[in-house]
Amino acid sequence: MRTVFSIICQRRYFPVYLLSVLVVLASCKNDDGGGDNSPELNAQQERAQALAGTWVSSQVAESPGDTEDAAIQELNSLQLVFGVNQTTLAPTTFSASGADTYFNSGSGASWGWGNADPDDDAITLSAVAPVAAFDITSFDGSTMTISFNFEGASTGRIAGLGAYRVQLTKQ
């Protein structure tokens, strides 16, 4: 008695069997366009991923005319650290150092997007004072320029109130 396998392996049926197996295997392939299975990121997720890490001041590009030299030097020492959840790419922790007059980050400080518009680069900060928000006005992945309004520190200092622009470089 001949088995099915022995019949298939006969010369005249073997090419048909081999072709059938190849057709089945080809139809089982993952048809995702040849790329990986990563979900497509929205604009804010892409920007959050690019922002994650440490940024150091490289230039104070704009300051009010009555800003003291010491205040400019303080901003030249500014260092910002943006934390991002690596799974969801959502903003998480935030810390600032070197310019406490402007960005005094307390325990549990965090950052987030100012609104849901993916093309808007407004950043809000919690547990950070006196500057609790800024806009990213220029960004290329390795440098960014932020702009913010300084309304005064808790020290009562009145010089240097107004608009600032600071360029930062990613470390």
Task: Enumerate long-range contacts of 77-80, CB under 8 Å, 24 or more apart.
Answer: 78/102, 78/103, 78/166, 78/168, 79/54, 79/55, 80/54, 80/55, 80/168
Question: Lowest-pLDDT range, 59-63, 113-117, 122-126?
Answer: 113-117
pLDDT band at 65; cut points 50, 70, 90:
confident
pTM score, whole prediction: 0.75
pLDDT at 137: 95
The string of pLDDT tens digits covering residues 74-84 is 999 999 999 99
pLDDT band at 158; cut points 50, 70, 90:
low
* Between 158 and 118, residue with greater pLDDT: 118
What's the mean pLDDT in 158-170?
A: 91
pLDDT band at 114; cut points 50, 70, 90:
very high
The string of pLDDT tens digits covering residues 125-135 is 999 999 999 99
The string of pLDDT tens digits covering residues 2-30 is 666 666 556 666 666 666 766 776 676 55
Helix, strand and coil content of the chain, in percent to the nearest 5, comes to: 20, 40, 40
Q: Which ranges of the chain would DSSP assign to H, the alpha helix?
A: 4-8, 14-27, 43-51, 69-76
pLDDT at 119: 76
* Between 156 and 171, residue with greater pLDDT: 171
Report phi then psi at 104, rounded to 5.
-100, 100
